[in-house]
Structure 1
């Protein structure tokens, strides 16, 4: 029997010529229509309400994805219930949505994948105890599938760090798009653990590019952050009614670029064009360790990791005990005893800045340290001896100055798609009229 040889990417298939062309086309059609598998980790309900906006957007496009996890990783007041509340709104709007797309998932299906993740920042070692969310991530990542699990992180990366610690074999099955920046500032210890111990994970570390999403550079007048709600959202469905509660309806949705990345473009090619931005491979991530107080002569990369280490007494405390505090601009980070009379604290500046710090502790030798530092763009900056050495699948914001918006590195690679994205979303809001 003669055979027809067909090649698609790396798949080779031998099909008897007697098979109908319809069967061949059916195979490729099913392959092309495969929905991306996504896992959302969100700090919804925390101090920044933009995650509620992003969750509404996700639910309005839920027909486009296999949603395998919705995990709360908020370290303030947010919890899993905040996700469930949004699904309640989605349920009210579902009949109208289904008139246009039958593939929207049932609310019960979404509720079943809601889990509670970490509720505290990782200690110095970068991980703590397993959570319902980290366990669910491991379970999803281990499913038999011919496509990766896209882990879209909208807040702290603690549950990802925990899952990688508990089941490092999942590294090959996941692809992470992390909205870093301020989340890296707070979750710096979890980041340190991943970069130091799992440099081969597939990672888009988006520290600044995402800001192009809510910067109105070049937006049409009817689609600015302030104008979009009254023009396209107001009066449309339960989710539209709820939207006004967050930033008075002004759109921000700083985490949505992670979802947009797998919506429009080729997610296998981070260097290409995508609604979620374009990125560059990086082989190192900035880390500077100071065993002294710093001054304005000490320059570090914005979004890099700074670690200060101080000498003090030998004390008998459990590992990862926080025994002093680093205070910067009225915010505080815990410092830890790391043994042999050494103490350490990590910080990651989220912007170009001249920073000042002081330490606070009941231990005299740790109390009252003070200093300054200067953080500059672009990231990852000049090489340093303690930089994290990364694998071949780690990507960061493009450093080209022509792609900045103000001080936001790479932001133009997203802002140029803002009109197309918002126009597409407006069509879905019209479904809820």
Structure 2
């Protein structure tokens, strides 16, 4: 009888232990992440963000690194930083044995779209867009976090080619200036995939590098000297981007998955706190706009002009428009209608002028006024969104200057930069 009791108690102990082990496995499941970045493009801050990612790579299953540049960037820029990581790997692995091998990271580096999407918002598939689809369709009990650090072209293409992946992904996009460059791809997603699970961070992310109320040691211009200098090959390389001054405007997307409950965008996290929006602001101007026309900053501005019917394929770029000193392509939409889209990255009094070999499209001028906060007043032109689209918080107390929602990140500055500072110590010789 005592023997049976001992066996029963032993069995219970084994079951309890197995249950605890199972619970530990569940608690330590790593988030699946895929990064789409304009690394090597017009803004060097993605190199900083990539170094940060690799130093925390033990906390994630990194399934893809897609190069989607504005400018000269290519997947080779990812590989350059992985080369740095490889030289620091042995030292880092002493503290985090789960860090992925450099070869495993190289295997998931893919080239994404290079030109911006045409007016319709998508073009042809790329190695990067196909990889997004492949990763999203992988059997898993958890979603794939698609963290977009630049252009959103590859995601738009993936959604066009395989819309069924929506139920398997979560998207955190650093919008703002990236929205301006990717306005056609963004418009396609908002118009056709409004049921996507999406965090659209147009201004919140700036709380990562805005110094207001930051302790002195964690200010953008002092952090390198205090925590990075002299530590590892990646530390030596870091000084090459903004002279070591912290920007890393894309890192909040990763920090969001690292800290807090990522399934609840309205909660607290290092990557910000957001609120639901049910529409994406859009204003369509037939024949142009004037300084009497007001739109929200970050909204879609779409101009439609009438001209001659011409024999070119629809969506052909046939004119240009200069807005705030930058030049953008305009497209033939068919039936004598021409169109172009734009998004301002801040509140501004904007002016534009067109140029074209088509006389009717040459020299058209106009203005607009963009204001904060986003998404502004409702319009019949707005794209209607589903129940899982989130963006910058509207509360005035969460602004830093004119940056909506930025304090939801800056309040955690000492915590997230302090934590990273501890990891830099791993590279001390």
Aligned to 2:7: none
Contact persistence 1:46–1:76 (CA under 8 A): yes
Aligned to 1:417: 412
Equivalent positions of 1:69-148 (< 5 A) are: 69-148=64-143
Q: Report the CA distance between 1:18 and its aligned residue.
A: 8.2
Q: Report the CA distance between 1:359 and its aligned residue.
A: 0.5
Q: Report the CA distance between 1:278 and its aligned residue.
A: 0.3
Name the TM-score, length of structure 2 as normaliser.
0.96
Aligned to 2:183: 188
Q: Report the CA distance between 1:75 and its aligned residue.
A: 2.7
- Alignment partner of 2:195: what SS? coil
Aligned to 1:245: 240
Is 1:355–2:358 an aligned residue pair?
A: no
Aligned to 1:221: 216
1:417 and 1:283 map into 2 onto residues whose CA distance is 28
Equivalent positions of 1:240-389 (< 5 A) are: 240-389=235-384
Contact persistence 1:327–1:357 (CA under 8 A): yes
Q: Alignment partner for residue 20 of structure 1, among 15, 32, 55?
A: 15
Q: Report the CA distance between 1:68 and its aligned residue.
A: 0.0
1:323 and 1:44 map into 2 onto residues whose CA distance is 29
1:214 and 1:20 map into 2 onto residues whose CA distance is 49
Q: Alignment partner for residue 169 of structure 2, among 164, 171, 174?
A: 174
Contact persistence 1:286–1:305 (CA under 8 A): yes
Residue deviations 1:122-178 (CA, integer Å, cap 9, x gap): 001100010000000000000000000000000000000000000011010000000
Name the TM-score, length of structure 1 as normaliser.
0.96
Contact persistence 2:144–2:169 (CA under 8 A): yes
Contact persistence 1:75–1:118 (CA under 8 A): no
2:188 and 2:12 map into 1 onto residues whose CA distance is 54
2:383 and 2:414 map into 1 onto residues whose CA distance is 37
Is 1:49–2:49 an aligned residue pair?
A: no
Aligned to 1:395: 390
1:198 and 1:170 map into 2 onto residues whose CA distance is 11
1:119 and 1:385 map into 2 onto residues whose CA distance is 33
- Alignment partner of 2:374: what SS? coil
Aligned to 2:6: none
- Alignment partner of 2:423: what SS? helix
Aligned to 1:61: 56
- Alignment partner of 1:151: what SS? strand
Q: Alignment partner for residue 193 of structure 2, among 198, 223, 226?
A: 198
Write out the 4+ residue segments of structure 1 that deviate beyond 4 Å after TM superposition: 16-19
Aligned to 2:3: none
1:20 and 1:171 map into 2 onto residues whose CA distance is 38
Q: Report the CA distance between 1:319 and its aligned residue.
A: 2.0
Residue deviations 1:275-325 (CA, integer Å, cap 9, x gap): 000000011010000002211110000000000000000001012100111
2:364 and 2:379 map into 1 onto residues whose CA distance is 24
Aligned residues: 418
Gaps in structure 2 of 5+ consecutive residues: 1-10
Q: Report the CA distance between 1:17 and its aligned residue.
A: 6.4
Contact persistence 2:287–2:306 (CA under 8 A): no
- Alignment partner of 1:355: what SS? strand
Q: Report the CA distance between 1:19 and its aligned residue.
A: 5.7
- Alignment partner of 1:81: what SS? helix
**Superposition RMSD on alpha carbons, in Å?**
0.9
Aligned to 1:12: none
Contact persistence 1:328–1:356 (CA under 8 A): yes
2:255 and 2:26 map into 1 onto residues whose CA distance is 21
- Alignment partner of 1:20: what SS? helix
2:297 and 2:414 map into 1 onto residues whose CA distance is 29
- Alignment partner of 2:246: what SS? coil
Residue deviations 1:325-378 (CA, integer Å, cap 9, x gap): 110121011111101111000000100000000001110001111011000011
1:374 and 1:310 map into 2 onto residues whose CA distance is 19
1:27 and 1:136 map into 2 onto residues whose CA distance is 31
